[in-house]
Chains A and B, each alone.
Chain A
Amino acid sequence: MKKKKQVNKQKNVLLQKLDISTKKYLFFSFLIIIFFTLIFSGMYFCFPTYKNVFLDKIYKNTRFIFKNKNVTLEQKYKIRMGKDYQFLRVIKKRTPEDAIILFPPKEFFKNTEFNQKGSWGLKDPTWATYFLYPRIVINEKWEKDFPEIYNKYTHVFLMNEWGYDKLEYPVPINTEKLILPRVKGGKK
């Protein structure tokens, strides 16, 4: 009985009728919330940059994430980096972890299916090294700037008839993209 009385007392406290000043406070709070909603709506409609933040960066991105919850890491990289990342996976499979891979110069990547915009992509050795680490990626720039490193390359990325003279064994020249060891049968 005592317990029942206590529970009823709590219910009465919670369901107590609001006095007039509290109603005024609630109404005033509601008005202020409407005011701030109008401010943020004004920012949304008047400034495209805020619309971009609210709509694209927050709403659309969150919706995409919830709709594609089960996407793997590999698939996410493919979405962001396309063919560049796909080919990196091929390089990773065909080279050991301690490989130093010689890539073609930047100009050989023009008019290929790899990324042409900005700095990122297979054309940049440092970018490629990130995904292939602990393998190291270098290109022809190293021959002049770091010749002792350049001479240690173990594999060559052959592309658009480039790179065949970097191998120490004859290979028929073609336009395929290939990753081959510098020395036949493995690294030096």
Chain B
Amino acid sequence: MMIFMTFSLIILLGFFLVDLISRETNLKLKFGLSYPVGMGVTSIYMFMLDVVGIKFTLLLINVLNFIIICIILFINRHYQINRIKSLKFNFTFRKINVRRINFVWGFLFLLLIIVISSNVNRNIYWPVYAYDSVAGFDLSAKAIAQEGKIAVSLFDYGLNLRRGVYPPLSSTAFSIPYMLRMSSSKVIMSFFFISLIMAFYGLLRRYVKSINAMFFTLLLAITPEMYGYGVLSNSNLPGVIFIGIGGLFFCNWMIERKQSDLIIAALLLGLNVWLRSDGVVFNLAASLILLIDSIKKRNFKSFLVFSIISFAPFILWSFYLRFKLGIVQDRFVNHPYFDLQRLHIMQLFLNKILISIDMYGVIPILFMISLILNWKQLKTSKSIYPIFIFLSLFLYLLVYYQLDDVKQDPISSMMRNSFRRGYLVFMPLYLFYISISQTSIKFFNIFELQRKHK
């Protein structure tokens, strides 16, 4: 009962918050963003409680979540009341029209359900065993659940320093099952996996038809690295949601200029740096594009709103690390330099990783093909997607170039392990662009022609 209530409150918190920001968004997208946003907000006030010295317990978290939900509902009350009044419950029996049933979508959905249920089975059955989780996020989570604070005693013992410097979203998310006396926290990965699938599908459905959206959602779910990280308790899969979906919201805002899309993009990219500090490069990429756009339009309101929301968590965590935990992160060479050998090593790994079928399946190759086939699209507003992708990739590589080999693992090891995992966040961006391209839309429209629509 407690398990159901705790997770329901987190999901409802995220759902009502997304609903408050973006009322017109479809339900699938809202539900897809519910858990990540709900957990992100929960993690932020757990951090606030830690800063003011209040020990958080499961009861306190549930009560605070309930209060925040009530506040959001109160703010949004007029809209919610009108929405409930407009609901019509029609129980009359209707004739089944076979031509309205989308069998192809049903087939693809069935395959997706098989993938999702396999993910859930594995996460419920197997305990945490991956090294990064055991010696990092999950160890922090156990300590957070026991001690009721983020600055756990592990720091005093000199343990966990490498993973402990990560911002607290993943550790606090994994701590919730331990507070609930569950034996493993891996069920959290299933929440994130299902959220990613729903959010990606919901976002695609705003722009393409159902079979197109379902096919590319299924392709995302069966990406080898995506499925692999969906059953490991670490921060890579959550990063795909915050960066991938957040980046897409940002690009959609650049085209459609719906204010709610910008707020959600800022929120998701803000939660991204609350998950992993190195994700700040994506916030930088978006801010840079937004700054240029603001200069052209001579209106900096959107730039300021986006920057404040998306960078605030990064600044908060940096201050906390320095002043509360006494940890100074000094992993970078703090001046520009040119090292041809280092660039050559990076290039060798990039050749293997960027279009690796073993890790990312056919997605990077399809993206390249899509760019070529739809080259005319690069002259339209849809060019924002490849611009954001390539700018983010450049900044991400710059981070690795600037890493100091003396204070960090050598560049070859960092490219082979860390960069390879981080590259996963580009997959939703690639797939989204492929799906909304003219070639893809025309191709999948063939499958939609025969259906009888309203």
Contacts and interface: CB of A to CB of B under 8 A. Distances in A.
B361 A47 contact: yes
Contacts of B118: 57-58, 61-62
Interface in A73-89: 73, 76-77, 80-81
B139 A133 contact: yes
B353 to A, nearest CB: 14
A43 B158 CA distance: 47
A18 interface: yes
Contacts of A10: 93
Given A50-B361, A58-B114, A125 B159 contact: yes
A14 B96 contact: yes
B94 to A, nearest CB: 9
Interface residues of A, number: 54
Main secondary structure on chain B at its contact with chain A? helix
A22 B160 contact: no
A65 B119 CA distance: 12
B98 A26 contact: yes
B135 A124 contact: yes
Interface residues of B, number: 51
B125 interface: yes
B228 A57 contact: yes
A25 B96 CA distance: 15
B369 to A, nearest CB: 15
A22 B96 contact: no
A76 B126 contact: yes
Given A57-B118, A58-B118, A130 B146 contact: no
A146 B93 contact: no
Nearest to B104: A32
30 contacts: A25-B98, A25-B451, A28-B450, A29-B103, A30-B103, A32-B104, A32-B447, A33-B103, A33-B107, A36-B215, A47-B361, A47-B362, A49-B359, A50-B224, A52-B224, A57-B227, A57-B228, A65-B121, A73-B183, A80-B126, A100-B157, A119-B131, A125-B159, A126-B139, A129-B154, A130-B134, A138-B158, A142-B158, A149-B157, A149-B158
Interface of A: 10, 13-14, 16, 18, 21-22, 24-26, 28-30, 32-33, 36, 40, 43, 47-50, 52-54, 57-58, 61-62, 65, 73, 76-77, 80-81, 100, 118-120, 124-127, 129-131, 133-134, 136, 138, 142, 145-146, 149
For the complex of A and B, the 6 pairs showing the least CB-CB separation, nearest first, are A29-B103, A126-B135, A146-B158, A58-B118, A80-B129, A120-B131
